[in-house]
């Protein structure tokens, strides 16, 4: 899915929606390399949380939802690194 399509999709999600976000991370290897041995290795992570909002080109998600509907932590993933986002709707009751 194109980046612009993902951002439009993300913006349709309601706050507090449980989601899984797949995103590309920067990679750093400490092994010695030469131009002939250099290779690119992509690293992807899946992060699960409660979607809060899109702000300044970041998707803001929260973790550890308490009974009073507060959260114990938040994370911010740059929209440019997101490759997929899906709702976690099966088996979850608000």
Percentage of residues in the chain having pLDDT higher than 70: 94
What would the pLDDT profile of 56-68 be if each residue is shown by its tens digit? 989 999 999 888 7
Does residue 8 fall inside a structural domain?
A: yes
Q: Which residues lie closer than 8 Å to 70 by C-beta, 6 or more apart?
A: none
CA angle 76, 48, 92 (to 5 degrees): 130
Does residue 52 fall inside a structural domain?
A: yes
Does residue 94 fall inside a structural domain?
A: no
CATH number at residue 20: 2.30.30.100
pLDDT beneath 70: ranges in the chain? 1, 90-94
Does residue 77 fall inside a structural domain?
A: yes
| Overall number of domains in the chain | 1
Does residue 73 fall inside a structural domain?
A: yes
Predicted pLDDT of residue 31: 79
What would the pLDDT profile of 67-83 be if each residue is shown by its tens digit? 877 899 999 999 999 99
Give Cα 8 to chain centroid, integer Å: 15
Predicted pLDDT of residue 58: 93
Does residue 33 fall inside a structural domain?
A: no
Q: What is the pTM of this model?
A: 0.78
């Amino acid at each position: 899915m194109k980046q612009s399509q993902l951002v439009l999709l993300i913006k349709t999600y309601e706050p507090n929606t449980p989601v899984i976000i797949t995103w590309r991370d920067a990679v750093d290897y400490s092994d010695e390399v030469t131009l002939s041995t250099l290779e690119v290795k992509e690293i992807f992570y899946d992060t699960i949380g409660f979607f809060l909002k899109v702000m300044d080109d970041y998707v803001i998600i929260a973790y550890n939802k308490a009974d009073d509907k507060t959260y114990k932590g938040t994370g911010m993933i740059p929209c440019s690194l997101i490759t997929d986002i899906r709702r976690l709707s099966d088996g979850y009751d608000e």
